[in-house]
Structure 1
Amino acid sequence: MSAARWRKAMNSGAGAAGFDAHSHPVGRVAPAGAPRHTGTGETRPTWERIRDAISPHHIVVLVGLLVFPFVASPFLTFQVAGQSLALGLVALSLMFLAGYGGMVSLAQMTVAGVAGYTLAILGTSSTAISLGWPWPMAILVALAAGTLASVLIGWLSVRTEGIYTIMITLAMGVAFYYLCLQNYTVFNGFQGFQKVHPPMVLGVDWRSPVPFYFLVLSLALLGYFAVKYIARAPFGVALQGIRDNPRRMNALGYNVTAHRVAAYAVAGLIASVGGVLLVWYNGLITPGSVGTSWLINVLVIAVLGGMRHPIGPFLGAIVFVLLQTFAVDVIDRERFNLVIGVAFLAIVLFSPDGLLGLWAHLRARLQGGRSVSTSLR
């Protein structure tokens, strides 16, 4: 549905379908990031939505991210920050589906794996069955393959809801894992593909800590602001309306299935970018990269950070990677999943909106205490 038809449907159907003057369901809070409307029903210009997506704290965080690799060790730059940003992109795709579309998919690492395997098969590696295509073509086909896989998963799962969607996406992820594990002709079985490294461009080794960090950071920022922009665009607002009340949106003339499949396409592209970066980070891809544990880990990362905010998956990825990296110094490596499980349960029990929700709750309590002390004076 075009933007013009979207505005016409929202304005003409406001009274009959229970929408208020700002095109949000009566009795509900306006979806996060929804565009404000003028009196004529027109949305604000694109540049205004981009301006609103960037706030002062974004600038402060960006400066810190740019300075970080020059003050941190190569280990922290590559192993912690680079890995966290790549994993955050995959978790961001899940946050987009669940937070804005109400669709929890356990197949996002599968989508990332499709892109990663396609890159390894078409590009160069130490495995003889790699085709050695030029890297620009291999990357583009890998992103297209991951997006197409996500569309297929979405087309099969969007007609279900709740636990059924979770089980369908989990079944697809497990099926892809066993396909990679048992197929030697295309996927090289349990050995996978080794030495899959980023290409040398402009004489730069993009797998070195600082270049790789800035590569991942630029793509992570692009994904973050793209999600922020889409959330304020007509498609994003319609998707949030479908999340809240699909029957009402269908009555207004929206194709609910098409919107949900399109959301899977957007999420698939984001996850595919993360999958390519993870292959370059690890230097390899094997069936273990798309195993059941990683399907669950992506969900854990998204929930840890917060499923309602685009920055949440990156915060969750940082916590996950830090625990994965340094928990071995406190407990046995085999008990890492126990630490993650305890942290996951604590977040779910005390802050359903993840670390961001916990921070917002603490900040509200501090502000409340300050206001009380001021009134007593």
Structure 2
Amino acid sequence: MRLLFVLLPLVLVPLIANDFWLSQVITRALILGIIALSLCFLATYLGVVSFAQVTLAGVAGYAIAYFGPNTVGLGIPLPLIVTIPLALILAMLAGAMIGYVARRSRGIYAIMITLAIGVAFFYFTRQNYVLFNGFTGFSGVIPPALGDGNWGDAVPLYYLTLLVATICVVLVQGFVRSPLGLAVQAVRDAPGRLLALGIPTTLPIVAAFAFSGLIAGSGGILNVWYQERVSSFSVGIGPIIDILIIAVIGGLRHPTGAFVGAIVYVVLDIFAIDLIDRDRFNLLIGIVLLLIIIAAPNGLSQLAIDWAKKLRGGAATSRKT
């Protein structure tokens, strides 16, 4: 019911928003929110902060570019019905491999391992010209056709992104309630007890990372269609840090808070130029992030939840009196 309550106004957004707000703000925020959701999922239910989620999104994005239409003359064109599942499968496999490598790591060690993987992938895409076209990457990655236009048009892309975001949220909710999801949470809370019971912890960890690859890969595909290109800049240290900032702003322990953090980040990114020089954006986002951490250590989502509880508590008290 809560999800339907949020979805209803979002479905009506194209009726009141112009193409700028619809495409540059809301659609972009939803895409970044999907990728950040994969990070929040791992942080919330596995207890691992991964810096490799942009890498997983990049794997799917490069797959769409390599096996789909582009203007660089590189790749193997395949039907869309094959390309999308293939891109998602590759992202899941990449997630599973990262999970296996990082299976024994927690805290700062998991952060460093996944960051090293993300940076390594960035330099690999920049230097490899056979699969990734090096520094230039792929351009002209046109979204699928839709009548006289394509899915890259403002309204169709918005609805497609909203649909994918909704599916991702529902999948996360279903996964964490499944036996495998419960095992993942058990690894987070008491891995020693699982081992004492004879239950290996590797499989749940690898499965959680693979599932996060599915979510991040979905955002990566949409991001390539949104940008109509992908390059090493798409998987560099900048985007990696941006996704972390988005997750922290919304609430690292609240998966759906990823979308809250994304909308705040995108609004600041677009309109900060009206207040400060563009070169000082990192300073502004750093100040905003610091203020949010001080005022709401668990993110804006937790802050909203606490306020809602206080309002309900105040209303209940007033009714009793």
| TM norm structure 1 | 0.81
Counterparts of 1:68-147 in structure 2 under 5 Å?
Answer: 68-147=13-92
Which one has a bigger Cα radius of gyration?
1
Do residues 339 (structure 1) and 284 (structure 2) align?
yes
Do residues 242 (structure 1) and 187 (structure 2) align?
yes
Are the equivalent residues in 2 in contact too, given 1:228–1:310 (CA < 8 A)?
no
Equivalent position of 2:212 in the other structure = 267
Are the equivalent residues in 2 in contact too, given 1:101–1:260 (CA < 8 A)?
yes
SS at match of 1:191: coil
Do residues 288 (structure 1) and 239 (structure 2) align?
no
Work out the CA distance in 2 between the residues paired with 1:187 and 1:79: 27
Do residues 162 (structure 1) and 107 (structure 2) align?
yes
Letter in 1 for 2:224: V
Question: Which of 219, 222, 225 is matched with 2:164 structurally?
Answer: 219
Deviates further, 90-99 or 182-191 = 182-191
Q: CA deviation at 1:335?
A: 1.3
Work out the CA distance in 1 between the residues paired with 2:290 and 2:40: 19
Equivalent position of 2:294 in the other structure = 349
Q: CA deviation at 1:367?
A: 4.0
The gaps in structure 2 that reach 5 residues or longer are none
Q: CA deviation at 1:160?
A: 1.2
Among all aligned residue pairs of Structure 1 and Structure 2, give the percentage whose two residues are the same amino acid. Answer: 45
Work out the CA distance in 1 between the residues paired with 2:318 and 2:118: 54
Q: CA deviation at 1:70?
A: 1.4
Q: CA deviation at 1:248?
A: 1.3
| 1:36-78 deviations in Å (ceiling 9; x for gaps) | xxxxxxxxxxxxxxxxxxx2x3222111011001110111111
Do residues 359 (structure 1) and 304 (structure 2) align?
yes
Work out the CA distance in 2 between the residues paired with 1:70 and 1:292: 37
Equivalent position of 2:264 in the other structure = 319
RMSD of aligned alpha carbons: 1.6
Do residues 304 (structure 1) and 249 (structure 2) align?
yes
| TM norm structure 2 | 0.95
Question: Which of 245, 254, 278 is matched with 2:223 structurally?
Answer: 278
Do residues 228 (structure 1) and 156 (structure 2) align?
no
Q: CA deviation at 1:104?
A: 0.9
Number of equivalenced pairs? 321
Q: CA deviation at 1:257?
A: 1.1
SS at match of 1:339: helix
SS at match of 2:135: helix
Are the equivalent residues in 1 in contact too, given 2:142–2:152 (CA < 8 A)?
yes
Are the equivalent residues in 1 in contact too, given 2:29–2:259 (CA < 8 A)?
yes
Work out the CA distance in 2 between the residues paired with 1:299 and 1:232: 25
Work out the CA distance in 2 between the residues paired with 1:352 and 1:315: 15
Question: Which of 273, 276, 282 is matched with 1:328 structurally?
Answer: 273
Are the equivalent residues in 2 in contact too, given 1:194–1:284 (CA < 8 A)?
yes
Equivalent position of 1:184 in the other structure = 129
SS at match of 1:155: helix
Are the equivalent residues in 1 in contact too, given 2:254–2:302 (CA < 8 A)?
no
Q: CA deviation at 1:276?
A: 0.5
Are the equivalent residues in 2 in contact too, given 1:116–1:275 (CA < 8 A)?
yes
The gaps in structure 1 that reach 5 residues or longer are 1-54
Work out the CA distance in 1 between the residues paired with 2:131 and 2:239: 22
Are the equivalent residues in 2 in contact too, given 1:204–1:211 (CA < 8 A)?
no
| 1:204-257 deviations in Å (ceiling 9; x for gaps) | 511110000011110100000110111222222221121111111222332211
Question: Which of 137, 151, 166 is matched with 1:206 structurally?
Answer: 151
Q: CA deviation at 1:371?
A: 5.2
SS at match of 1:190: coil
